[in-house]
A and B are shown apart, each in its own frame.
Chain A
C-alpha cells in the first residue's frame, strides 16, 4: 500500500515536471522570439512605424490596429518581404504610400519580427513560427504568379 502511494506520488510529480517543462519551453521560445523581434523591429521597421507602432499621421499606417493585423495575419510576412504598394484602408483611413521590400530577411527573422509586432501595440496574437512564415510566403508567391499568368 505504502509503495503504491509512493509510486503514484512519484508519477504525479514526474508528469507535473514534464508538463511544466513543455509549457516553459514554449514560453521561453516565445520570449526569445519576442525580445529578438524587438531588436529587429528597431533595425528594420521603427524608423517608419515608430517606437509606439503608431506610424506617422496619414502617411505611414499604424501597427496598433488589432483588427487589421488579425484579418491579414497570413499576408504580413509577404508585406515585409515584397513590400506594399497598394492602397490600404485601416480604421477608415486610406494609406497610399509605398512600403519598401525587405527581401534579405530570413524566415526566422520574419517570425521574430512578426511575433514582436503581433504581440505589441495592443495586439495579442501569440507566436509566429518559422513553419507558418514559410507557408505564408509560398501561398502569397503562388497567388502573385496566378495573378500574373491570368493576365
Chain B
C-alpha cells in the first residue's frame, strides 16, 4: 500500500515536471488589431500583429537585404554607427558573443543599421565587419538613406535614433536589440549594453527557433 502510493506520487511528479519543462513561447510585441476573415464561408475574427515594414538596404558586401532575403530566418536588429564612442562598442561586443553561438546557422541573421550614412559608407562598414571578425553576410551591416533608416527604427522597431550634435559622436540612439521572428513580428527587446539581458536573448532565440522546428 505504502509502495503504491509512493509510485503514484512519483508518476504524478514526473507528469508535473513534464508539463513545466514544455518550452514556453515568447510574447508577440507591438500593437495588434482584430481583422475579420472569411474562412469556409464563415466569418472569423483573427488578430493582425504589428510587423516590420518592407525595407531594402545595402550591406557591407554590396548585397541588397530586404524582407525577402530574410524570409526563412529569425533575426536580431540594432542601430549603431562605426565612430560611436558611447554604447556601441559594448553592444557590438555583446552581440559578437551571440553571433559566435549561432555562427553558420542559416535560420539566424543579424542586422546592424548605421544611423550615420554620411560617414559609414560601404567600405567603412566592410572594414568594421572585418575588424570585428565577422565574415559573410549572416551579420549584415546595413546602409540606407538617413530618413528611411530613422523611419524604420521608429515605425518598425519601436526604437529611436536621431542626430544630436550636443552629445559625443553626434548621434543618439537606443541600445536595444530587437528579436524578430520569420513573420517579421517583434518577439523580444533587450538592453544591448547589459550582459545578462543579452544572455537572456540568446536563450530566447533558442525558444523561438524551437517554435519552427515543432511543426
Interface set of A (CB-CB < 8 Å, partner B): 47-48, 50, 56-60, 98, 100
Contacts and interface: CB of A to CB of B under 8 A. Distances in A.
Interface in B134-156: none
Contacts of B41: none
Interface string B94-136: 0010000000000000000000000000000000101111000
Given A100-B85, A100-B168, A59 B90 contact: no
Given A59-B128, A100-B168, A50 B133 contact: no
Contact of A50 (B85, B89, B128): B89
A60 B133 contact: no
B83 interface: yes
A59 B133 CA distance: 10
Contact of A59 (B86, B87, B89): B89
Contacts of B90: 47, 50
Interface string B56-87: 00000000000000000000000000010111
Contact of B133 (A48, A57, A98, A100): A57
A48 B85 contact: yes
B203 interface: no
Q: For the complex, would chain B's binding face be called helix, strand, loop or mixed by DSSP majority? A: helix
12 contacts: A47-B85, A47-B87, A47-B90, A50-B89, A56-B89, A56-B92, A56-B132, A57-B96, A57-B131, A57-B133, A59-B132, A100-B85
B114 to A, nearest CB: 15
A58 B132 CA distance: 6
A100 B86 CA distance: 11
A142 B83 CA distance: 29
B93 interface: yes
A52 to B, nearest CB: 10
A47 B128 CA distance: 17
A98 B96 CA distance: 21
Contacts of A57: 96, 131-133
A132 B104 CA distance: 51
Contacts of A59: 89, 92, 128, 131-132
| Top 6 A-B residue pairs of the complex, sorted by shortest distance between their CB atoms | A58-B131, A59-B131, A48-B89, A57-B132, A56-B89, A100-B85
